[in-house]
């Protein structure tokens, strides 16, 4: 099963694009599992299905909300990560939202996580001339370089704006924002004429108890004709087929690495969720239920 940042939002009793979790009711979330018994035509015992009833070891899943996935050449967990929702988020954000074009310089925050690590690996395959990533530790920075990022820095070492300016002295064209806060302000400061921001997430504020200050440099949007566009992956289903085909090819030829951090046992799921929010994962955080 998957633990994802959006689940943190569901733990607040507030109106949002997805309803809050209910007290004393089981949690839910993305999972892949083996079909044990089926009364649905086209879904056979032994097949693997992707569904939305994680946070439990066994589930009675309505066939209309289960999708059979091919695990002959892929690990089941990849359908929760690189080949699944986070992967499609990275693809839709770059292709559809930011309109990545040839020779763009791209900055990705949260770059060692599920979405960020895919976005950073995808960008050069889609034509970017240079990709810069930020993450929360030296080990993750080293990992980003192994993944092919041209430059990487830890946001804990020095102000993001200074480190970004150093990594991209001539500026950036696209910012894939997973973090918000000072990362977003720094990126706006570095964006060149016509720059675009795919506003994917704002994890630096998810545990905040008070509203966090917005970027202080929004005035730059005008003269530099910048675009900041928020998006939800659910609105980009029409790209799924194209994404899955291209991604399967990139994984097969070694262009994209499917990174994940695996925690074992349902009892460890809360620890995995809290750990993911604290940065203990590299790549997709997965809970193995067996």
Query: Shortest gap between Cβ of 4 and ligand NAP (angstroms)?
Result: 5
Query: Shortest gap between Cβ of 90 and ligand NAP (angstroms)?
Result: 8
> Where do we find the tokens 């001339």?
129
Which positions touch ligand NAP (CB under 6 A)? Answer: 4-6, 86, 89, 110, 112-116, 135-137, 140, 155, 178-179, 200-201, 203-204, 231-233, 276-277, 279, 281, 285
Q: Which is nearer to ligand NAP, 140 or 246 (CB)?
A: 140
258's CB contacts (< 8 A; 6+ apart) are 75, 78, 81, 82, 83, 251, 283, 284
Contact 110, 90 (CB under 8 A): no
Query: Shortest gap between Cβ of 42 and ligand NAP (angstroms)?
Result: 28
> Mind giving me the DSSP string for 45-66?
TT-EEEESB-SSSS----GGG-
Q: Which is nearer to ligand NAP, 179 or 191 (CB)?
A: 179
Contact 135, 112 (CB under 8 A): yes
Q: Which is nearer to ligand NAP, 44 or 138 (CB)?
A: 138
Q: Which is nearer to ligand NAP, 54 or 136 (CB)?
A: 136
Q: Which is nearer to ligand NAP, 17 or 39 (CB)?
A: 17
Distance of alpha carbon 288 from alpha carbon 279, whole angstroms:
19
Q: Which is nearer to ligand NAP, 114 or 256 (CB)?
A: 114
Query: Shortest gap between Cβ of 38 and ligand NAP (angstroms)?
Result: 30
Q: Which is nearer to ligand NAP, 5 or 29 (CB)?
A: 5
Query: Shortest gap between Cβ of 108 and ligand NAP (angstroms)?
Result: 10
Q: Which is nearer to ligand NAP, 5 or 215 (CB)?
A: 5
Calculate ∠ Cα 275-276-280, nearest 5°: 65
Rg (CA), the chain: 19
Query: Shortest gap between Cβ of 135 and ligand NAP (angstroms)?
Result: 4
Query: Shortest gap between Cβ of 258 and ligand NAP (angstroms)?
Result: 13
Query: Shortest gap between Cβ of 111 and ligand NAP (angstroms)?
Result: 7
């Amino acid at each position: 099963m998957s633990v994802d940042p959006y689940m943190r939002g569901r733990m607040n009793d507030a109106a949002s694009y997805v309803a809050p979790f209910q007290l004393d009711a089981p949690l839910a979330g993305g999972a892949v599992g083996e079909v044990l018994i089926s009364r649905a035509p086209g879904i056979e015992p032994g097949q693997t299905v992707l569904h939305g009833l994680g946070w439990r070891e066994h589930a009675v899943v309505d066939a209309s909300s289960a999708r059979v996935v091919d695990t002959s050449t892929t690990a089941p967990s990849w359908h929760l990560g690189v080949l699944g929702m986070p992967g499609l988020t990275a693809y839709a954000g770059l292709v559809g939202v930011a309109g990545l074009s040839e020779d763009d310089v791209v900055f990705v925050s949260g770059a060692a996580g599920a979405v960020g690590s895919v976005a950073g690996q995808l960008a050069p395959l889609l034509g970017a001339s240079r990709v810069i990533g930020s993450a929360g530790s030296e080990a993750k920075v080293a990992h980003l370089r192994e993944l092919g990022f041209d430059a990487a820095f830890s946001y804990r070492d020095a102000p993001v704006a200074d480190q970004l300016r150093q990594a991209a002295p001539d500026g950036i064209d696209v910012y894939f924002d997973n973090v918000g806060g000072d990362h977003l302000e720094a990126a706006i400061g570095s964006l060149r004429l016509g720059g675009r921001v795919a506003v994917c997430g704002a994890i630096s504020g998810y545990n905040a108890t008070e509203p966090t200050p917005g970027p202080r440099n929004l005035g730059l949007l005008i003269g530099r004709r910048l675009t900041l566009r928020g998006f939800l992956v659910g609105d980009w289903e029409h790209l799924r087929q194209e994404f899955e085909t291209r991604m399967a090819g990139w994984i097969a030829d070694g262009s994209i690495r499917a990174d994940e951090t695996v925690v074992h046992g349902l009892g460890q799921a809360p620890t995995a969720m809290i750990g993911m929010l604290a940065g203990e994962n590299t790549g997709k955080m997965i809970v193995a239920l067996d």
